[in-house]
A and B are shown apart, each in its own frame.
Chain A
Amino acid sequence: MSSDPSPKTKRLSIWFWLLMGACLVCAIPWYRETGAQDPIVFGMPIWAITALVSGLGISVLTAYALHVVLQDEGEDPDG
């Protein structure tokens, strides 16, 4: 038994990867000084807000990739 394992996908633009890379880098506060006490905004320290906004960016980019890029060939556009 065997099957064709290669998916039909379009290429993602360089901007997508740059934005995704930026979100991934900023998502975890490894670049900050350990133990620093940031100002609190809406009950969250700045480093936590940065992490959440980066996570939201990853969600948006993932939804974009699912919407625009992975269009299987021969798919009925109306479902």
Chain B
Amino acid sequence: MADPTAQATTTLDALPIGIDGLVVLIVYLLGIVGIGFWGRAKRKEESLSDHYLAGRELGFFVLLLTLFATQYSGNTLFGFTAKSYRMGYAWIMSVHAMTAVVVGYLLFAPALHRQSRDRNYITPADYLHDRFNSRAIRLVCALIMIFATANYVYAQLKVMGIAVTGLTGGRIDPIYGVVGLAVVMILYETLGGMRSVAWTDAIQGLLLLLGFTLLVILVMRQHGTLAEAAVHIREHSPEKIAVPNATRCAHWFSMVLLIGLGASVYPHAIQRIYAAKNPRILRKSLKVMAFFPFVTTLIVLVVGLIALRAHPDLDHQSTERLLAIICGDLAGSGSLGYWTVIVILAAIMAALMSTADSALLSLSSMATKDLYGTFLNPTADEQKLTRIGKSVSWVVLALLVWLSSYEDLTLVQLLEVKFEVLLQVVPAFYLGVHLPRLKGGPVLLGMLVGLGLAITLLVIGIKTIDGVHAGVVALAANTITVLVGHALGSRQTVAAPG
């Protein structure tokens, strides 16, 4: 049997992206920067609402595509293809998980949107501070979300390195790819804030949909149908097509909760809820979003399964580059395949940048408003906060670019570690919206219990318990703490004289 790593490297080296393809990609990137200038021209005032929420005027088309492009990231393309290859059909759990995100929105987004307009919220922690009248909850929530978004941006940067190196056949070092794309991203973000980010997301979202569609059509044309792959999988890896065992089913359920609940409280997703022009547009966008997993994650699953037949025996590390390997196959299959790879490459860059820019913008808003504006300089005016926010974006991005050349976690591991922590703010939002008498004390205690338990389990090396993620176990402890505290508080209130 051939050395699979050598096989992957050979495939990558053979990827023939020519000057014409590179020119198209550079024009695309310059066009994205152009949108940054457009966003700056459309700016109405130097305020936090205008910079971070596009003046709360996002319409249906832009809101839908920015929600989509933000939710489907580099992890969806690279990490999920790899996971599908490694796990087999049970990775259908990723389709369920992405659907669960919209179910999560259904449970709290419309109410949160209404309150955000009434109370002029900018960051997610604005809502919690207002709802529970607690600076401590704002601080803990902001720190959790800043960690999660920094992790998210970092993951996207890592994929940028893999993508650029893989898709240029190893001719460009990962760090140059990361720096180049990061510079484009920070330029248009600084110029136009959320307005630029949302409009570039809209274009990138369309490109992503086109890329997903072309990918599955061309892969099937080149490597055969899913039916042929299924026969191969049954013969060579029967465990990947058989009914999964109880532990895998528990993991499935846990993954749906982990991603469904965790991604619904992404700070950049919550800020898009705030930025929707009206409730009708928000609901309409979410309705369409409910069906996107079937044209995105399902396609990625199918591509990973077909790759099991086309490239059997890849080792764990090589599977992380599976999409690049598949693109290498397509690029060498004629001019249609070649130009499709250019579109897919642009879609990959789109997925990476649209997610990273949104998370970075959100991180900047939280560091500026929740930390600096609340605790360090409460008298700072909006113009000053906006200026500081832009500087924070540059500093954080530079730091994460530097860090991206270190660490050796796989992409889905990165995603899961982020969600373990982010999940601990879920009860504050979900229960905060639905339990009018819920007080801040139990919420803060629950958040700290959940956070402490999640970190402890991860530090001592327990990532799952019988297939259930540590973060989901911690979320259960968190939620029970909040509900018990709420019940005890309600009883004392009833028992109090007068």
A residues sitting closer than 8 Å to B (CB atoms) are 1-7, 27-30, 32-38, 40, 42-45, 47-48, 51-52, 55-56, 58-60, 62-63, 65-67, 70, 72, 75-79
Q: Chain B contacts of A5 at CB under 8 A?
A: 111, 115, 131, 432-436
A-B residue pairs, 6 tightest by C-beta: A43-B226, A7-B111, A43-B227, A79-B280, A30-B249, A34-B245
Q: Are A67 and B283 in contact (CB under 8 A)?
A: yes
Q: Are B110 and A3 in contact (CB under 8 A)?
A: no
Q: Are A75 and B131 in contact (CB under 8 A)?
A: no
Q: Chain B contacts of A77 at CB under 8 A?
A: 280
Most chain-B Cβ atoms within 10 A of its Cβ — which of A2, A51, A60?
Answer: A51
Q: Are B227 and A45 in contact (CB under 8 A)?
A: no
Q: Which residues 117-149 of B have a CB within 8 angstroms of A?
A: 118-119, 129-131, 133
Q: Are A52 and B92 in contact (CB under 8 A)?
A: yes
B242 at the interface (CB under 8 A from A): yes
Q: How far is the CA of A36 from the CA of B130 in the complex (A)?
A: 53
Closest B residue to A38 by beta carbon equals B243
Q: Are A63 and B95 in contact (CB under 8 A)?
A: no
Interface size class on chain B is 35 or more
B241 at the interface (CB under 8 A from A): yes
Q: Chain A contacts of B228 at CB under 8 A?
A: 43
How far, in Å, is B303 (CB) from chain A's closest CB?
Answer: 12
Q: Are A40 and B238 in contact (CB under 8 A)?
A: no
B residues sitting closer than 8 Å to A (CB atoms) are 89, 92-93, 95-96, 99, 102-103, 106, 110-111, 114-115, 118-119, 129-131, 133, 225-231, 234, 238-239, 241-246, 249, 252-253, 256, 277-281, 283, 286-287, 290-291, 293-294, 298, 302, 305, 432-436
Partner among B234, B252, B291 whose Cβ is within 8 Å of the Cβ of A59: B291
Q: Are B92 and A48 in contact (CB under 8 A)?
A: yes
Identify whether the interface residues of B are mostly helix, strand, loop, or mixed.
Answer: helix
Q: Are B249 and A28 in contact (CB under 8 A)?
A: yes
The contact sample of 20 A-B pairs, CB cut-off 8 A, is A2-B133, A5-B433, A7-B111, A28-B256, A34-B245, A35-B245, A37-B234, A40-B227, A42-B226, A43-B305, A47-B243, A56-B294, A62-B106, A63-B287, A66-B283, A66-B286, A66-B287, A70-B283, A75-B280, A76-B280
Q: A2-B130, A42-B226, A70-B283 are in contact. Are A7 and B114 (CB under 8 A)?
A: yes
Partner among A2, A3, A59 whose Cβ is within 8 Å of the Cβ of B99: A59
Q: Are B89 and A45 in contact (CB under 8 A)?
A: yes
Q: How far is the CA of A11 from the CA of B26 in the complex (A)?
A: 52
How far, in Å, is B120 (CB) from chain A's closest CB?
Answer: 11
Q: Chain B contacts of A72 at CB under 8 A?
A: 110, 114, 279
Apart from A28-B249, A66-B106, A75-B280: 17 A-B pairs, beta carbons within 8 A: A5-B435, A6-B111, A7-B114, A28-B93, A29-B249, A32-B243, A34-B245, A35-B239, A44-B226, A45-B241, A51-B92, A52-B92, A52-B298, A58-B99, A62-B290, A67-B283, A72-B114
